[in-house]
Amino acid sequence: MSANSAADPAASRPQDARRPVRSFVLRQGRMSPAQQRALDQLLPRYGLPFARTPLDWQHVFGRAAPVVLEIGFGMGETTAEIAAAHPERDFVGIEVHAPGVGSLLREVDGRGLANVRVIRHDAVEVVDAMIPLGSLAGIHVFFPDPWPKKRHHKRRLLRPDFVHALALRLAPGGYLHVATDWSDYAEEMLATLGAERLLVNTVQGFAPRPESRPQTKFERRGKRLGHPVFDLFFTRK
Catalytic residue annotation: 145
DSSP-H helix ranges across 8-149: 15-18, 33-46, 57-61, 77-85, 98-111, 123-130
* Gap between the Cα atoms of 92 and 71, Å rounded: 9
* Gap between the Cα atoms of 81 and 108, Å rounded: 10
Q: Cα–Cα–Cα angle for 105, 109, 114, nearest 5°?
A: 100
For 142, what's the count of Cα atoms within 13 Å in the CB-facing half-sphere? 24
**Element of type H or E holding 187:** helix 183-195
